Amino acid sequence: MHQRSAPSVYHGRGLIARLSARLRRRPELPRMFALVREDDADGTEFVAWGMALPDGRAVTFGRGNIGEWSSPAGAARRMFADLRWL
């Protein structure tokens, strides 16, 4: 009768490299931000809410407008606002 052997367990150096590669392939999650303008006289003015997408682009929405941008920083520059990560 043929006896089955227990499955082997791999303890080589490649294990850490394979796990690291798997974690790098995991997509990033979208991240929320706010765009605001600071004014000495009026305080902080809300401009828009935004979401940074996993591919680096951004979407903003606020005051009846929706925008698509190449990056969150690009949206802040074009809207003359400060970027605040939430």
50 phi and psi, to 5 degrees? -150, 165
- Look at residues 28, 39, 33, 41 and name the one whose alpha carbon lies nearest to residue 76: 33
Query: What is the pTM for the complete model shown?
Result: 0.65
> Residues with Cβ < 8 Å from 58, sequence gap 6 or more?
33, 50, 51, 52, 68, 69, 70, 71, 72, 74, 75
Mean residue pLDDT of the chain comes to: 81
pLDDT score for 40? 78
Is pLDDT above 60 for 59? yes
Mean pLDDT of 15-20: 65
* Residue 15 · residue 23 · CB < 8 Å: no
